[in-house]
Structure 1
Amino acid sequence: MSCKNEKDKTAETLDQKPMNVLFIAVDDLRPELNFYGANHIQSPNLDKLADESLVFNRAYCNIPVCGASRASLLTGMRPTRHRFINYSTRADTDAPNAISLPKLLKQNGYTTISNGKIYHNNDDDSLAWDNRWFPKGNIRNYQLEKNIIENGSANLAMGGASAFEMADVDDSAYFDGKIAQKGIADLKMLKNKNKPFFLALGFMKPHLPFNAPKKYWDIYDRSKIELPDSYTQPESTPKQAFHNFGELRNYGNIPKKGDVPDALAKQLIHGYYACVSYVDAQIGLVLDELKRLELEEDTIVILWGDHGWNLGDHKLWCKHVTFETALRTPMVIKVPGKTKGQKTNAIVEYIDIYPSLTELIGIAAPNTVDGQSFVPILDGQQPEKDWAVSKFKDAVTLIKGDLFYTEWTKDDGVAYARMLFDHKTDPLELDNLAEKSEYQDIVKQLATELRAKWGKDFLVDSKPLK
């Protein structure tokens, strides 16, 4: 059979057979990966997936906090001042009338399975799933006795345990190893069913604490790890842009105030790298099984991190800010017959994932979805939309071209602080242009555009009354 006929056959299959979806979420994953130009983290399985996918160089979450980001992505709806706010957000509370992506697929004959962390609350949007599973045990998942004792029964409200752990254990000791094995078992089960599937795997690392088997720590030489070039907080940046990274300070070996000491900072970066390599290995096991079961040609694979993460950038740790380091995310999509390692600089938002997947599998998205399909990019077309909007608390950011413009506003929409960075000349976001006289015309234009694009119900109380 000729190459042309093989392509025609693939296209015909795409048109006629409902595609499966393998939906992989990775908690706190930065786009600090080889296929984004970095070369110091070993992630061979993600690299291989990228070589078979469309890689989005400019994908942005709509809010840099896990629960809200996931609820927004899975409903395709923008966060507002009153909807999708923080880590504990529930989609079924903030948007009870929305038909989520898994619910829509379930309604259209898909088997839907949630493993690990997909929504922040495992029982959120429960009717969307045929099966929900999460590993048993304390969510911090320590393996060393000292950390288990010091953590006690603390879960989200941590005890005195370390922010990282290097345990000489098998991969399956930690949650992500168990999540991978559950995913593999589900693929074997789904292989024999006549229904298409939406299999969601939510991996936990590299979320804090940076716990990974010792062999992944051993990959890296800490003496070669350096602090980021942006390890500073310029006076021109509004004080509202910075925070005390309380999520990290809750751990027992982190100082309660002030900068993290350099040696400890490098130890944290080391732990983050180890966790990325660990989760990469687990994802590789699942992708290998997908291939072994001969499901590759029938399955769309999309992988995304729920938001960015600061590893000392601006002397910050964690997320919860609107610097690019917290907003820009890794995202790749593998579509049989369509992707082969292409890269795009088109700006996409996480709310665009929902309508893109529904278009690819031939199901109409509901009118509650705010996102715009990026499927034309898969066909080599230039998308019409060239911007994204992200927010966190009072801060709301317009990303357009090389410009990142943020305003802090109250309920009336009037700004009380602002910042503007031009990534063409300042990719590290160290020179705030918003208060410079020569940029006032640009600021005025961006302020108008921000309000036009942040959503029709951004300022109104869009949450249902309790």
Structure 2
Amino acid sequence: MKYYKIKSIIVLTFTVFLFACGTKPKADLVPSKREKPNILFIAVDDLRPELNFYGASHIKSPNLDKLASQSLIFNKAYCNIPVCGASRASLMTGARPTRKRFINAHIKKDEDYPEAISLPMLLRKNGYKTISNGKIYHYKNDDSKAWDEIWQADRLWSYALTESQDIRKNTKRGLPFEAAEVHDSVYRDGKLALKVIQDLNKLKQSNQPFFLTMGLAKPHLPFTAPKKYWDLYNRDEIELPESYVQPKTTPKQAFHNYGELRQYENIPKRGDLPEALAKELIHGYYACVSYIDAQIGLVLEELKRLELEDDTIVILWGDHGWNLGDHKLWCKHVTFETALRTPLMIKVPGKTKGQKTDAITEYIDIYPSLAELVGLESPNTVDGKSFVPILNGQKSKKDWAVSKFKDAVTLIKGDLFYTEWTDDKGIAYARMLFDHKTDPLELDNLAEKPEYQDKVKNLSMELREKWGEDFLK
């Protein structure tokens, strides 16, 4: 049985789930037109744009492909910081990271920027039912006043097998991957899909517009998914990336020891990974992408069955990119394009049908765009710029983005990626420049070449103009 043909099993499981919760699913509910559109907000952890609609034909993701065919796809979308907690807080507030705000995975919006009115808070204040499901902020109860309801599955359900769960209980992170002969709903994201489906059935019966989130845990480590998704890929056909090299011209500050991965069991503590292990990790990542694709498909199918499609904006984003051996790196935490470029698409009923845009878009632009689409004005703490004009067929006037991680700050300007490592006073102590027209894999650092010094000087000035007034404060 193909992995996406599991409807009968899921319907049975879902029915039992709803009855257990005291809710009876209804197929004959009368649709109601709302004054304001609903928003289904799908966040995917560590999802890189290695997907069919971005040109990666080897990925099995039919549901994401279908959603993309109904959406506006952003070819050049970039997170503002490549680490989950900070990226999510920045996106949800529409505010840029600075040297002291939104700096790592463990920050909280409530502590770093308590005065900012978050997107869910803005919507809740304006009549929306707001439900946080899964991983939206890094911490479950961050920005808690913005939500009518917060729900997460137990983290232990990252593993299905008892022996894997026991290892997780007694180690820092547990095993890096698992392929188990189990039903989708045994893992966290399967439970998440059932919860979101339950919410859709409840929300269908209300005239109140909703902001419903689906925060998927995969393909974040550990790469755990039902075995049928692993079976979609032949490991003998998996290859290490073409950019599996660290050129000497690239500053040493650009690389790290991928400590996040090394905390898992059976991963070497230093040095390059053995090739077989590297391919097993890539295999697991692909399996997890196909697994979450199936869960997203179930939710989108239910949205359609309940006749909520025409009233609902669907937006899907990954919180940052991810390295799968690119530059001999794993995980994120760098300012190479592989960690900064992200999948982003938005389905707006009556407006989108598979269009693509090359307009450079930052994640802080998502907040003002959604606010405008539902007829709300963004607060003055929002730094982003709405991309609604692109949805209306206009050409974007913005051709740049700024991303940072620790001391590294990157200006993305057209095809140029310019990064400086700066101290607390904004003085640069290392730099790199890549031209994606001639070097899409970022293997030739141009920043120290004599013929590029005028270009570097101009980009350095522009970086400081665009990184935000509060950047050094």
With normalisation by structure 1, the TM-score equals 0.94
Determine which of 350, 357, 364 is the counterpart of 1:337.
Answer: 350
Q: Which residue of 1 aligns with 2:150?
A: 132
* Conserved? CA contact 1:236–1:431, under 8 Å: yes
Q: Find out whether 1:414 has 2:427 as its counterpart.
A: yes
User: Does the CA-based 8 Å contact 2:156-2:165 persist in structure 1?
Assistant: no
Q: What residue number does 2:92 align with?
A: 74
Q: Tell me by how many angstroms 1:328 deviates.
A: 0.1
Matched, 1:88 2:101: no
Alpha-carbon shift at residue 142 of structure 1 (Å): 1.4
Query: Following TM superposition, by how much is the alpha carbon of 1:150 offset from its aligned partner in structure 2, in angstroms?
Result: 1.9
The AA in structure 2 aligned to 1:36 is Y
Secondary structure of 1:291's partner?
helix
- Pair 1:260-2:273 in alignment: yes
Task: Please list the CA deviations of residues 367-421 of structure 1 after superposition, one character each: whole Å capped at 9, or x if unmatched.
Answer: 1100000000011111121100000000000000000000000100000000000
**Contact 1:396/1:406, CA 8 A, preserved across alignment:** yes
How far the C-alpha of 1:144 sits from its partner, in A, is 2.0
State how far apart, in whole Å, the 2-side matches of 1:145 and 1:93 are.
37
- 1:112 — aligned with what? 130
Q: Structure 1 residues 56 and 410, CA, compared in 2 at 3 Å: closer, same or farther?
A: same
What pairs with 1:448-463 in structure 2 (closer than 5 Å)? 448-460=461-473
Deviations 1:101-130 (A, max 9, x none): 000000000000000000000100000000
Q: Which residue of 1 aligns with 2:164?
A: 147
Native 8 Å contact 1:46 1:284 kept in 2: yes
Aligned to 2:259, which of 227, 235, 246? 246
Give the equivalent residue in structure 2 for 1:173: 186
Aligned equivalents of 1:63, 1:77: Cα separation in 2: 11
Contact 1:29 1:330 in 2 (8 A): yes
1:10 aligns with none
Contact preservation (8 Å) 1:20, 1:299: yes
Distance, in Å, in 2 between the alignment partners of 1:226 and 1:81 is: 38
CA–CA distance in 1 between the matches of 2:146 and 2:207?
19
State the SS of the aligned residue for 1:152. helix
Percent identical: 73
Please give the alpha-carbon distance, in whole angstroms, between the structure 1 residues aligned to 2:333 and 2:175.
Answer: 22
TM-superposed CA distance for 1:330, in Å, is: 0.1
Q: Output the CA distance in 2 between the equivalents of 1:385 and 1:153.
A: 50
Q: Which residue of 1 aligns with 2:57?
A: 39
Aligned to 1:191: 204
Q: Which amino acid aligns with 2:264?
A: Y
Question: Are positions 1:322 and 2:335 aligned together?
Answer: yes
Letter in 2 for 1:308: G
SS at match of 2:96: coil
1:307 aligned to 320, 330, 336, which one? 320
Which SS does the other structure have where 2:358 is aligned?
A: strand
Post-superposition shift, 1:162?
Answer: 1.9
Q: Using the TM superposition, give the Cα deviation of residue 89 of structure 1 relative to its aligned residue in structure 2, in angstroms.
A: 1.0
Query: Which of 307, 310, 315 is 1:297 aligned to?
Result: 310
Deviations 1:152-211 (A, max 9, x none): 255xx42xx321100110000000000000000000000011110000110000000000
Shift of 1:84: 0.1
User: How many angstroms apart in 1 are the aligned matches of 2:35 and 2:166?
Assistant: 52
After superposition, what is the alpha-carbon deviation per residue over 1:274-331, rounded to whole angstroms, capped at 9, x for unaligned?
A: 0000000000000000000000000000000000000000000000000000000000
Contact 2:85 2:137 in 1 (8 A): yes
Aligned length in residues? 442
2:156 and 2:164 mapped to 1: Cα distance? 12
Aligned to 1:464: none
Structure 1 Cα separation of the partners of residues 461 and 329 of structure 2 = 30
Who is 2:6 aligned against?
Answer: none
Separation (CA, whole Å) in 2 of partners of 1:102 and 1:329: 22
The 2-side partners of 1:116 and 1:150 are apart by 23
* RMSD (Å) for aligned C-alpha atoms: 1.1
Distance in 1, Cα, partners of 2:98 & 2:57 = 37
Tell me the residue number matched to 1:463: none
Corresponding residue SS for 2:317: strand
Q: Please show how residues 342-357 of structure 1 align to structure 2 within 5 Å.
A: 342-357=355-370
> Conserved in 2, the CA contact under 8 Å of 1:138 and 1:153?
no
Shift in Å, 1:227: 0.3
Q: Indicate if the aligned counterparts of 2:421 and 2:430 stay in contact, CA closer than 8 A.
A: yes
SS in 1 for 2:315: strand
Q: Does the CA-based 8 Å contact 1:115-1:179 persist in structure 2?
A: yes
1:215-234 aligned within 5 A: 215-234=228-247
Q: 1:153 to 1:115 in 2, by over 3 A?
A: farther
State the secondary structure of the residue aligned to 1:451. helix
Aligned-pair CA distance for 1:138: 2.2
CA distance in 1, matches of 2:223, 2:345: 24
Query: What TM-score do you get using the length of structure 2 for normalisation?
Result: 0.92
- Distance in 2 (CA, whole Å) between partners of 1:136 and 1:230 is 37
Shift of residue 448 of structure 1? 0.1
Superposed structure 1 runs of 4+ greater than 3 Å apart = none
